[in-house]
């Protein structure tokens, strides 16, 4: 019996010790020292440690906020000169006699995120792995104004960085690829309507500065402006503010919650000036215009000075190369001309806005001196796509699909010299290569071709010669009929060609014949052709004989090998399959 009492006594003592230790730990936390220091600086007697908790009612739950256990002077102007975390929080609304934000009612986490329930600094600021909402400090906290206020339609005092980000989202043409409800409708890239609800501020910054950091195969370009810290901070703050879940209902939110339409400039009368504002992504007649071509594309003024981005082709020659109707269609849907184009589809533009852009692009009139030598011609018209070494790796090449042709291979130059002039004159449909017949004279094109030949052949053997292989016709004897059995060719069979294509071609050209096979991006440039591109395959220059020679002999200067082990009948069947594919896609 006595032993039982001893056991109970020991358990009771242990419980008392644990209780005392927990109380000591609670009273030994940083917030206790902060509160003592706070009252000492005020010259008041310390009333005892207190966990200061604010309960913020939201439509879905109760938000617990204990931040002011440390930030105890946030609502007290007498603490204006105190150091953090005891300091008075300056008014959120600049110039307001009395700030409408009452921290005793809304707490801190509603604006700054973090973990409002925690009392230890590291935990409270959300600085541990996996916490979805780390602390937003300084102006970046403006991202959370969107939780209570309608932000799309005008200005909100105290949210200047957020509003700058909204303007930059339009100016930098982010809207062309990303959808934000009420702002843009593009489906080119991930939707950002709930970007702030899904991602941290740091993640959004990183995704802009280094697009492949979080998505390895990201197609997002690395823009020049990512080196401007203020620009990136403003856009990231705006994106962090895009959250579907609000903390206030329409009934309980501050005045102005009802969501107005975003105030964007819509052009109704075409003009060069309106086109200039769209091209640059700057306000037009006082309102923000949805534009920003200059972030990707460069242009030259009449003196030849280059300005703009280095992501897409230079637009100095676009109207002269392509014509007004082509350029207009390309702006609305670039894939109607190049199936694998990554250029956004600017289908939101009205007719007046399209006409304004065309008018502005038509003012670009720079032209080289007609007596310029080949190197100067190449540097002006070709280098951005084909590169300084003629290897197809110019400054804009990474964003083109298919990549520009590698002109440094002497085999290619020798084998296809007869096609050079045609490609320069008329362009290559289904690719970014435009027609230059309205920009360059015949003499300039000849000078350019001589420069390319001279540079590519400088250190190459001169004994390479392309075999002359003619396209066989139905009724001709089979090329591999070495036993002399008299096998005669028949017209190509698309069904047989499909089977042969799946057996011999898919590792590079893909099962869909779109040039995206599993080995495609492991090959040396140029990459496999997209064989379902009717724009490319329906050109007059892409004949059945050209396809036959490419399959039988391979493509000189490219990874495409010779398939001379295939019978002529099999090659004709594959050509028939390729042709039927483009017919079906029309």
Domain count, the chain: 5
Whether 473 is covered by a domain: the verdict is no
Examine the domain organization and report whether 167 and 220 are in the same domain.
yes
Q: Higher pLDDT residue, 251 or 14?
A: 14
* Most confident of the ranges 41-55, 182-196, 263-277: 41-55
Domain assignment of residue 177, yes or no: yes
pLDDT in tens, 465-501: 788 899 999 999 998 876 667 789 999 999 999 999 9
Record the tokens describing residue 361, joined without a space.
């692009």
Q: Are residues 244 and 275 in the same domain?
A: no
Question: Is residue 499 one of the residues assigned to a domain?
Answer: yes
Q: In terms of residue numbers, what domain contains 520?
A: 494-584
Residue 1 lies in a domain: no
**585 — pLDDT class (breaks 50, 70, 90):** very low
Tell me, what CATH number does 416's domain have?
Answer: 1.10.760.10
87 and 153 share one domain: no
Helix (H, G, I), strand (E, B) or coil at 125: coil
Confirm whether 54 is domain-assigned.
yes
Region at 526 (left for phi over 0; alpha for psi -120 to 50; beta for the rest)? beta
- The per-residue pLDDT for range 229-272, each reduced to its tens digit, is 999 999 999 999 998 877 665 555 544 444 445 556 688 899 99
* Of the ranges 13-22, 408-417, 449-458, 540-549, the best mean pLDDT one: 540-549
Residue 533 lies in a domain: yes
Q: Is the pLDDT of residue 12 over 60?
A: yes
pLDDT grade for 128, boundaries at 50, 70 and 90 = confident
Percent of the chain at pLDDT exceeding 70:
90
The domain boundary, picked from 404, 428, 456, lies at 456
pLDDT of residue 129: 82
- 511 and 530 both lie in a single domain: yes
- Contact between residue 237 and residue 142 where contact means Cβ atoms under 8 Å apart: yes
- Of the candidates 262, 288, 319, which is a domain's last residue? 262
User: In the predicted model, is pLDDT for residue 575 greater than 60?
Assistant: yes
Specify the long-range contacts of residues 374-383, CB closer than 8 Å, at least 24 apart.
374/447, 374/448, 374/450, 374/451, 374/452, 374/454, 375/451, 377/440, 377/444, 377/447, 377/448, 377/451, 378/448, 378/451, 378/452, 380/304, 381/317, 381/436, 381/439, 381/440, 381/448, 382/448
Residues 181 and 253 in one domain: yes
**Interval 74-119: pLDDT, tens:** 999 999 999 999 999 988 887 777 778 888 888 999 999 999 999 9
Lowest mean pLDDT among 277-281, 323-327, 416-420: 416-420
Q: Which whole number is the average pLDDT over 435-463?
A: 87
User: Are 173 and 151 in a shared domain?
Assistant: yes
Q: Do 419 and 356 sit in the same domain of this protein?
A: no
243, 193: one domain: yes
Task: Number of helices (H) and strands (E) in the chain: give both, helices first.
Answer: 23, 6
Give domain status of residue 489, yes or no.
no
pLDDT band at 439 (very low <50, low <70, confident <90, very high): very high
Mean residue pLDDT across the chain:
87
Do both 439 and 400 map to the same domain? yes
Whole-number pLDDT of residue 25:
52
Cβ–Cβ under 8 Å, residues 73 and 39? no
Positive or negative, the CA dihedral 41, 45, 51, 54 is negative
Say yes or no: 146 and 258 in one domain. Answer: yes
pTM here is: 0.80
Instruction: Show the CA angle centred on residue 166, arms to residues 161 and 172, nearest 5°.
Output: 110
Confidence check: pLDDT of 178 > 70: yes
Look at residues 219, 246, 262 and tell me which one is the last residue of a structural domain: 262
Give the span between the Cα atoms of 441 and 445, in whole angstroms.
Answer: 6
Considering the domain architecture, whether residues 250 and 333 belong to the same structural domain is answered as no
């Amino acid at each position: 019996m006595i032993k039982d009492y001893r056991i109970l006594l020991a358990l009771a003592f242990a419980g008392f010790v644990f209780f005392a230790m927990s109380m000591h730990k609670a009273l030994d936390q940083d917030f206790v020292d902060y509160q003592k220091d706070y009252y000492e600086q005020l010259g008041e007697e310390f009333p005892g440690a207190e966990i200061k908790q604010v309960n913020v009612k939201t439509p879905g739950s109760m938000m617990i906020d204990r931040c002011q256990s440390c930030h105890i002077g946030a609502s007290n102007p007498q603490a204006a000169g105190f150091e953090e975390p005891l300091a008075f929080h300056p008014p959120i609304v600049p110039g307001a006699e009395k700030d409408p934000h009452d921290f005793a009612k809304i707490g801190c986490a509603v604006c700054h995120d973090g973990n409002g329930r925690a009392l230890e600094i590291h935990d409270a600021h959300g600085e541990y792995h996996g916490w979805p909402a780390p602390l937003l400090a300084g102006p970046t906290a403006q991202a959370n104004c969107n939780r209570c206020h309608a932000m799309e339609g005008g200005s909100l005092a105290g949210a200047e960085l957020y509003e700058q980000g909204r303007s930059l989202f339009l100016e930098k043409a982010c809207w062309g690829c990303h959808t934000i409800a009420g702002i843009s409708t593009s489906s080119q890239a991930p939707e950002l309507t709930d970007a702030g609800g899904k991602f941290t501020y740091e993640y959004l910054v990183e995704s802009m500065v280094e697009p492949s950091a979080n998505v390895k195969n990201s197609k997002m370009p690395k823009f020049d402006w990512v080196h401007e810290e203020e620009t990136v901070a403003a856009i990231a703050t705006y994106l962090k503010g895009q959250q579907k879940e609000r903390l206030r209902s329409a009934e309980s939110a501050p005045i102005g919650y009802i969501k107005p339409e975003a105030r964007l400039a819509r052009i109704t009368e075409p003009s060069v000036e309106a086109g200039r504002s769209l091209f640059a992504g700057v306000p037009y007649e006082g309102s923000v215009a949805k534009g920003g071509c200059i972030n990707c594309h460069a242009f030259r003024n009449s003196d030849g000075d280059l300005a703009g981005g280095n992501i897409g082709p230079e637009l100095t020659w676009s109207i002269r190369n392509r014509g007004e109707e082509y350029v207009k269609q390309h702006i609305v849907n670039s894939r109607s001309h190049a199936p694998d184009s990554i250029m956004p589809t600017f289908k939101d533009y009205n007719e007046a806005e399209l006409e304004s852009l065309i008018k502005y692009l038509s003012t670009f009139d720079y032209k080289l001196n007609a007596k310029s030598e080949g190197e100067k011609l190449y540097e002006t018209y070709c280098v951005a796509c084909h590169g300084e070494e003629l290897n197809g790796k110019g400054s804009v090449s990474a964003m083109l699909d298919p990549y520009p042709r590698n002109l440094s291979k002497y085999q290619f130059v020798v084998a296809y010299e007869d096609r050079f002039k045609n490609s320069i004159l008329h362009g290559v449909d289904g690719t970014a290569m435009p027609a230059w017949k309205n920009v360059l004279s015949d003499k300039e094109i000849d000078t350019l071709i001589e420069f390319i030949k001279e540079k590519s052949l400088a250190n190459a053997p001169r004994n390479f010669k392309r075999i002359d292989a003619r396209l066989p016709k139905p009724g001709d004897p089979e090329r591999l009929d070495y036993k002399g059995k008299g096998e005669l060719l028949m017209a190509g069979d698309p069904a047989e060609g499909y089977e042969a294509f799946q057996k011999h071609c898919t590792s590079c050209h893909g099962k869909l014949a779109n040039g995206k096979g599993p080995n495609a991006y492991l090959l040396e440039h140029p990459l496999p052709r997209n064989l379902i591109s009717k724009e490319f395959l329906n050109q007059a220059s892409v004949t059945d004989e050209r396809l036959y020679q490419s399959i039988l002999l391979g493509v000189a200067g490219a990874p495409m090998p010779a398939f001379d082990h295939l019978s002529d009948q099999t090659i004709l069947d594959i050509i028939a399959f390729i042709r039927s594919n483009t017919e079906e896609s029309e």
